[in-house]
Structure 1
Amino acid sequence: MIEVSLPEEIIQFKRWELVNYRYEIETKARNKGIYVLRGKNDKVLYVGKSIRLYKRLTDHTTGRGESQRFSHLIEDITVYFVAEDYEIDIYESFAINFFQPKFNRDKVFYRKVDETIIIEYDEACELLDEKVSERNSLKEERKRLTPTFDVDDTLVDSEERDHYLLGEFLRLTTCIDELDVEIQKLRDKCKKLSLLLDV
């Protein structure tokens, strides 16, 4: 098994101190390495890499690009200097999975599925099956009630019973339409939850 640990050459500072560390960042390891952005209570927000560390950190602290999701939360910055280009990716992958930052999307191998998402997914899928079954039953019932119309859209044998059948037919059609809307919403929900679960 390969063992990796974080580089030993580091500097740590507060977000507002970034400008004070510009020279040190740009001269050590030729401005290359990985960085860890932390929020309140030392919570790791994001881990990244760069061959132009100072510029990249400035982008994060000013909220450029993807950083706007979390730049306002950054309080502390740790920079790990890496001398060799080929090592940067290795250290970044290791740091992402070691610190488990909230806002990283790539190179994430540690995410455990939240149990509540599994439960919500199972419940949504079960409810979807029930609604589809209910809709199919109503469609079968509606087929048996389908009134007969002539060319002028007049009920054939328009006795009182046929009017009742027409009312029941229309009620079932309305129920089916409402179920179709519910079913589509449940399908969308199941699809979104399945993406979180990688089902």
Structure 2
Amino acid sequence: MSGCLKGTLITLLFLYILYFVLSNVRLVNGSNKCTGSVELYQNERQMCWGRPCQWGTICDDEWGMSNTEVVCRQMGCGHGLSFGSEFGAGSGPIWLDDVVCTGEEDAITQCSHQNYGDNNCGHSEDVGIVCSGKQTPFVWKKVVVICMVLIRLSDIDTGFPVCRKCCQATCISEPGSRGKLRCEWPSANGLNGVAQT
């Protein structure tokens, strides 16, 4: 197996674990993994307020499209299309209430909200969302991390092909750089990423 392919597979496996397996959010009672009631799992070394850590719901008070966008992005499910309570009442604890996101957060738990477990809701107010289901390209900071890792691996291997193939970057060796590469790539938000080996 070539160094480029091996490095790419290791990086993709790491990202899969980081963003999907370890995710503490899921959508249930929908027609696919990108629609349904939003549930949150309390597993971050917390006592879960005297109860066993478990999946619980999020109340729809103050919920808006910015919140929907954050969860869809966190789940790798594209953009938010709608929200409501059409997926039915959940069970277990209601973990979050009065959640307000700006839309820039990476995870729903980064948005402002009441203390975990504090709410004035019933399960008839459990929020559900519908996402586009289309995978969104990695956002700027994630692309930087991926490319930096691959470029670093490329120092051991061949350098130029790894950067170009794995990041779809344009790589050039600048005058006087002693063989070092400067790689640039487009990102989802229109900014260009730049890295050097």
TM-score of the alignment, normalized to the shorter chain, above 0.5: no
Between structure 1 and structure 2, the one with the greater Rg is 1
TM-score by length of 2: 0.22
Kindly indicate which of the two structures has a greater share of residues assigned to helix: 1
TM-score by length of 1: 0.21
Kindly indicate which of the two structures has a greater share of residues assigned to strand: 2
